[in-house]
Amino acid sequence: MEVNKIVTHVDAPAGAGLSAPNVNRSSGSARPARRRGRRWFDAAATLWSLLFVVPNFVLFAIFIGIPVIAAFALSLFDWNMIADPRFVGLQNYADILRDPRAVNSIVKTVYLVVLGVVPTVLLSFGMAVLINTRFIGYTVVRTLYFLPIVISFVASAVLWRFIYDPRVGPINALLGAMGINGVNWLQSTAWAMPAISLVIVWLRLPLSIILYLAALQQINAQLLEAAEIDGANSWQKLVHVIWPNVKPVTFLIVIINLRGIIFDSFDVVQVMTGGGPLDSTDILIKYIYDLAFAQLRLGYASALSTMLFIIVAGLALVFTPPRATATGGQR
Amino acid sequence: MTENHTARPSHAVGRRQVLAGLAAAPIALAAGSRMSFAAPTGTLSIAVLDFLEVSLKPVFAAYEAARPGVKVDYSLLPSTAAELRQTLLSRRMANKLPDITYLADIYATQFAEAGITADMRNFLNSGGPIKMDSFAKTFLDQYLVASGPKKGGYYGLPQGADTVVLFYNKKHFDDAKLPYPDDSWDFAKQVEVATKLTQKNGGTTTRYGLGVSVPWHATYVPGIVALGDTLLDDKGLFKLTSDAAVKLFTMYWDQVKAGVFASNTQLTQLGQLQGAFGSGTASMIQSVRALVPLIRQTIKDDWDVAMEPMINGSRHTGMGSIALATTPEGEQNNKDLCYDFLTWFYAEDGGMKVLTSTYAVVPPVVALYDSPIWTKLPPPPANVKVFSESIQYGNENPTTIPADVQAVVDSELLKAEQAVVLNGAAVADALNTAQGTINDAMSRSLANNS
Amino acid sequence: MIVGHPWRRRAHVTAVIVVGLLMAAPFYWLIINSLKTAQEVVGYPPTWFPHDIRWQNIADALDLLSVQSVINSLIFTVSVTICQLILVIMTGFAIAKMPFPGRTPLLWLYIITLFVPFQVVLIPTFIIVRDLNWIDSYWGLIVPVVAQTSFGVFVFRQFYVSLPDELLDAARLDGANWGDMFVRIVLPLSGPPIAAYTAVTVLTAWNMYVWPLIATTRNDMRVLPLSIAALATPSSQVPGNVAMMAVLISTLPIIVIFVFCQRYFINGLGGALKE
């Protein structure tokens, strides 16, 4: 409650041109101001939006839209890039249900998402809050947090394969020094996936930290100061000031990590375990790639991707149904 | 298309094609004879497998030095099966094939059918010094297409003649006071010595007696043949549950389970065969000449090579090769230059001299088996004759297995190994599971082609 | 920003440094191994500091990375980043703040296309580029990558959504049109997201492998990751120490860009909000 008051109080100068302290964006007090010029603005906005949206959309339609439609069409064919495509209707989709490796790879993908997305989001938020401060040499220290994305996925997978090496790798050397017998991480059906997810979280943290940091930087410093003057402790500041302001970026971070872990983990898995041992890290994207280019079954690979796409897009729609975040008067 | 003009004319060939063939023949002959007099000029584009770039760069430089009017423009091909095919198939779709491309043996048929490679009989019969019988037959035969529309053609020329031999660490043998491996060795002897060389710390092996990739065709194919059977049945399907196959895989996997042999399940962590041997983690490995350069750089101890041990009283060894082939586009647009390059490449004082000086290649040209260009390189390895002598014992992976099925075979046999070694599954059960998936893929592939 | 007792501040700074070192620890392994000899890098037990530093690794690694591929990587990365940035800032802003019909479906179009695996659209995209006759050209290399705007549109839309409407309303009352507002108000406030997005896009483009692999066939069009990939294959003939040095060297330009971008994470927040 107190914090709400603070927000109102501090934000008022930002909207200096307006008389009403209309901080809550969807509150009624903002409406009259906007309604006054609404008709004129809608037309103008639509015209301007064409300029802002169309160049992007044209490129997007040609190089993303058409290929996506083509990939869907391909799922109705049997094609190996050599002979002519053969129309098979929904046969590829029927095959998925009878394919144990497909089912296994879906399970493994879900497992990796759980092991990957949650730690990435939580740790990156914690680290961003942690490093959102200044002291002598802070830029250098911050760079340490960003180092993991500097290196390509393939190169870091090679590096980590070396680190996990049971004999010459540092992890087991350290554990050995502590008297613990390390396991052969990447050759264990139980440990391979956690080992891979650690690498993936490590690789994905910097991007999420950067996005959180950018969001934290945009929080008005006066808000935090005012909260402190009102006697808010660190936890209250986190919950009442910081968290509401990083909510949109959290949605963004969840979505891009979900996407990243489902699709971009391919390189790491390919280099570190190749999907093994015993398919324990055989995630869907690895299987799709194998189907498309190792087994040259492009139609079936497309069918599997289409199904993946429908599941993920469906989940996204269920959990975050499309609604205009109340800005700019659009609902 | 002049693809078949040197072969028996087929009945299906139309009148126009016969005329074209007749017209092309004298031109080809003229071109062949002109090559030795007038130096060709122009740009030759070659696609090389990425890991070969280091050893091929000096070869191309030497060719440019020998032919001042020529520039070699080489590009890289990824070496993993999926990416390699993705790259070459898309280049073919874009009509952007190089004049000459590299490939590996298992892709010969598929690339031929995809129109990526041209029939190399055109070159071998063009009247130059490199002919059909210049090559080690078993290696050239890896590129002979056995069925389908391209049947009878040779769609690649081997770059080297690589058979599997036994690499051993002399220091490990000396320390253990064991005699070095020799021609009399059989599998049981190899197990006995390997067990003595193995070192363990508690339950964990710290040094393996032998590194061998069991789910690799160059290991199991010759083994099954030595046990008197074949990998495929009459219909071309896999028979991994045959007595011979089960016995062979059991022989190897028993030792892997005992921690005496390191196979893929261990080797992926040890930097493959070359890494395990180079670092002294494996006292012996079953490997190939191509890995000698890397081993020379990493190993501290003295080492040498010996023949593969016998199995069931007979000697068989795995083999494999990487090849060059002109593409249909190269054949069409830049034929003289392609042929000149290939002729120079296989000459003792040409490409072979530069390439073999890297230690990575055994010449595939029979006349060069004893050539000092590679036998007189400073040791190790000292016993280089092993590489050329074991060629006669080579057993190739059946060329009827399409490359996309081979991808399934490789991953299924690796899974079988993991099931046996990590989970203690019975060998016959694991092989039976693998066979089911493999033969599904095989049947699908056969059905697609018919 | 941190107030409170000095000991709390010291604890905070210590935590920042310790966690940072943990994050960077694998790089220590990369650096020491890139300086070892080929024997030491595979030796057992592993060494935590190189016994003999082999500087020759630097020359060997540079030999594997051609100058032309560095130049191509720079051209590719800079073009992709600049073109994509312009497109996504504008579209992201339009979707977040401009009331035009169909913007919600448009947003969802961009979000759901994030979930299309690129492996499957690769071949259709390739065929389009081929039909445009763009294979082996910078156009073919760059434009299809620039068109991958889903992520960027989403990023900027999320940032602009939290921008207070009052800022725009005020300008609107002063008679500013959308173009004025975008240039004079929105862009100056966009420092942090632009810096963040630039960093990410530069990295993605710099490390991109598969598209350059199939979109170009000539050696003089080669980009760096194609040279690096050869080092990661099981059949690589390059020893591990040189391979790691090559990886290290190829990431140096990026580290420089990153340190440079750092300033904008901090200072990018313009004065407007505070005034």
Residue C246 · residue C61 · CB < 8 Å: yes
pLDDT at C233: 73
Nearest to B82 among A161, A186, A293 (CB): A293
For residue C114, the distance in angstroms to the closest alpha carbon of chain B comes to 23
For residue B6, pLDDT over 70 is answered with no
Q: Subunits touching B (CB < 8 Å, at least 3 pairs)?
A: A, C
Interface probe, candidates A175, A187, A291, A297, chain B, greatest B C-beta count within 10 A: A187
Q: How far apart are CA A61 and CA B142, in angstroms?
A: 46
Global pTM? 0.78
Residue among B194, B224, B168 nearest B381 (CA): B168
Hey, what are C218's tokens? Answer: 């000539």
Mean pLDDT, chain C, as a whole number? 83
Q: How far apart are CA C18 and CA C5, in angstroms?
A: 20
How large is the ipTM?
0.82
pLDDT: which is higher, C184 or B211: B211
Interface probe, candidates A167, A183, A288, chain B, greatest B C-beta count within 10 A: A167
Find the helix or strand (DSSP H, E) in which B304 lies: strand B303-306
Of A36-45, A65-74, B293-302, where does mean pLDDT reach its minimum? A36-45
- What confidence tens digit (pLDDT) does each residue in C128-173 have? 999 999 988 999 999 999 999 998 998 899 888 878 888 888 888 8
Q: How far apart are CA C92 and CA C98, in angstroms?
A: 10
- Chain length of chain B: 450
pLDDT at B16: 39
Share of chain A above pLDDT 90, in %: 24
Helix/strand/coil (H/E/C) assignment for every residue in B207-222: EEEEECCCCCHHHHHH
| pLDDT classification of A11: cutoffs 50, 70, 90 | very low
Asked whether the beta carbons of residue A44 and residue C177 sit closer than 8 angstroms, the reply is yes
Contacts of B361 (CB under 8 A, 6+ apart): B55, B159, B160, B162, B289, B290, B352, B355, B374
Please list the residues that pair with C257 across neighbouring strands: none
Name chain A contacts of B278, Cβ cutoff 8 Å: none
| pLDDT classification of A319: cutoffs 50, 70, 90 | low
Q: How far apart are CA B291 and CA C157, in angstroms?
A: 53
> What number is the average pLDDT over the span C71-78?
92
Kind of pairing, strands B100-104 and B42-49? parallel
Number of cross-chain residue pairs from B and C with Cβ atoms under 8 Å apart: 92
- What confidence tens digit (pLDDT) does each residue in A146-163 have? 888 777 777 777 788 778
A312 in contact with C at a CB cutoff of 8 Å?
Answer: yes
Residue A131 · residue A191 · CB < 8 Å: no
Nearest to B83 among A78, A186, A293 (CB): A293
Nearest to C158 among A210, A220, A251 (CB): A251
